[in-house]
Amino acid sequence: MEKQPKRIIVTGAASGIGRAIALSLAQQGHWVAAADLKAPQATVDAIVTQGGRALAIAADVTDGAQVRAMVAACIDALGGLEGLVNNAGMYSSIVPRPFEQIDLQQWRQLFEVNVFGLVTCCQAVVPHMKAAGGGRIVNIISGTPFRGIPFMLHYVASKGAVLGITRSLARELGSAKILVNGVAPGFTLSEGVMDNPVQLEKLREISKNARSLARDQVPADVVGAVDFFMSEGSAFITGQTLLVDGGAHFH
């Protein structure tokens, strides 16, 4: 457990990987501002029940004013801000289809959330982290850019952009003692994915069989990497992306 808790915003914290991350960070002793389109009160209630400190915030990461209000609410309620986990994103609703059938409006919608929403969150927190003398940003990426998954090109491209942002932002913010790293999960059986029969049919078995550890991946498998990047054990690591996919891809 950390000697001093970090105040950390986790976006997309209502369910799936985001909820698991928020719960785990709280178990490590951190104070968590859990954000989602609808305030994730159930996530916060679970943290408080376990003896942690947390705040539920309703925020759309594609809306700059809401993102700034999210950051202000975190600082007001928790007294500061040292960490951001950019988990909010579009994935579970995607139906795999050939490249030529993905129209530009779908590309724009997906980039608006997965890329521009992430950038908006980073822009909102960085001034506060600079003023505080440092901070941690962890971007939830994906294993897909490393493997070149077909039939979801807009999604793969969006996460490839986040991979590049992670590396370049780490270079830019290093002098401010802000560490920027990424965690890239494999195909994970979150609640949203479980409600998408097409993804389950097309991706579940092929993903499982590609792994060195040949089993389904669940949200709890991702949290250890995020905990590490928020810990003092990673104080000299930045610009890195850790694949958490059961050994499907070696990087």
Catalytic residue among 31, 146, 155, 187: 155
Which of 99, 107, 95, 110 lies closest to 200 in space, CA to CA?
A: 95
Token pair in block for residue 40: 């994730």
Asked if 91 is an active-site residue, the reply is no
Residue 16 burial (C-beta neighbours within 10 Å; 0-12, 13-18, 19+):
buried
> Which strand ranges, in their side-by-side order, compose the sheet holding 31-36?
54-58, 31-36, 7-11, 83-86, 135-140, 178-185, 241-244
Which of 173, 95, 94 lies closest to 134 in space, CA to CA?
A: 173
Phi, psi of 233 (to 5 degrees): -65, -15
Token pair in block for residue 240: 């890195």
Amino acid at 29: G
- Please give the positions annotated as active site: 155
